[in-house]
């Protein structure tokens, strides 16, 4: 079955309100190839999380503000999640999504040696959005994100993983595939084609 033949059934009947994209080593380059394809009419919320050294201020929102058609900003504590926005997790804090669909920042211990951790964001988002979310896991050199993807799948959300064979670092997508059998395993070009389709109806 081709990638295009797999995508149709995976999207059937879904209305995606939140897209969470996680990555680590190589993730900036991957996102540069993904986020600019989202049109100004895109209606879902997008939250991106990359591993950022805790002692260094994240400039990711500024970087992608120049490249994306949608408005981009760093997620803020207690902020309501708005449609048609791209948010980035900042450095030094875990980013969670609360049941009332607001952001929460915390200083709890690192998960998989990371803070912010992809697992924390994906697991909390899955609990808040259930089937109305999609999770995308990109290139990365550790196992952060595998537990989060499993939670998303358990809660009925759509799970998409970058093909490890073409990822700059294969450990992260490979572990997610091993652990939770994601709905779609796609090359970056396939994720780029799919991303604009992941929106609320």
Instruction: Give catalytic status of residue 24 as yes or no.
Output: yes
Instruction: Give catalytic status of residue 104 as yes or no.
Output: no
- The pair of structure tokens assigned to 124 is 């909390």
CA 17 to chain centroid, in Å, comes to 13
Of 119, 144, 147, 163, the active-site residue reads 144
The answer to whether 192 and 37 have CB atoms below 8 angstroms apart is yes
Name the residue among 7, 12, 18, 9 with its Cα closest to residue 132. 18
Cα-based torsion angle of the residue sequence 196, 42, 72, 140 in order, rounded to the nearest 10 degrees: -20
CA 129 to chain centroid, in Å, comes to 13
- The pair of structure tokens assigned to 63 is 């970087």
Name the residue among 187, 95, 111 with its Cα closest to residue 147. 111
Instruction: Give catalytic status of residue 94 as yes or no.
Output: no
Of 24, 44, 45, 124, the active-site residue reads 24
- The pair of structure tokens assigned to 65 is 């503000």
Enumerate the H helices of 74-158 as residue ranges: 118-129, 146-154
Of 44, 51, 94, 147, the active-site residue reads 51
Rounded Cα–Cα distance for residues 101 and 193 (Å): 27
Rounded Cα–Cα distance for residues 153 and 55 (Å): 33
The residues carrying an active-site annotation are 24, 51, 144
């Amino acid at each position: 079955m081709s990638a295009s033949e797999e995508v149709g059934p995976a999207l059937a009947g879904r209305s995606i309100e939140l897209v969470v994209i996680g990555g680590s080593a190589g993730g900036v380059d991957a996102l540069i190839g993904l986020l600019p394809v989202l049109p100004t009419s895109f209606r879902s919320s997008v939250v991106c999380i990359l591993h950022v050294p805790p002692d260094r201020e994240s400039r990711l929102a500024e970087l992608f503000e120049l490249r994306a058609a949608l408005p981009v900003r760093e997620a803020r504590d207690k902020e309501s999640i708005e449609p048609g926005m791209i948010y980035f997790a900042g450095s030094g804090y875990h980013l969670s999504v609360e049941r009332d669909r607001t952001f929460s920042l915390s200083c709890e211990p690192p998960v998989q040696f990371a803070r912010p951790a992809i697992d924390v964001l994906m697991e909390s988002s899955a609990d808040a959005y259930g089937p109305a979310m999609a999770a995308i896991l990109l290139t990365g050199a550790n196992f952060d994100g595998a537990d989060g993807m499993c939670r998303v799948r358990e809660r009925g959300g759509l799970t998409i993983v970058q093909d490890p064979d073409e990822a700059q670092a294969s450990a992260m997508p490979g572990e997610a595939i091993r652990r939770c059998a994601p709905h779609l395993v796609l090359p970056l070009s396939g994720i780029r084609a799919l991303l604009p389709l992941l929106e609320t109806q």
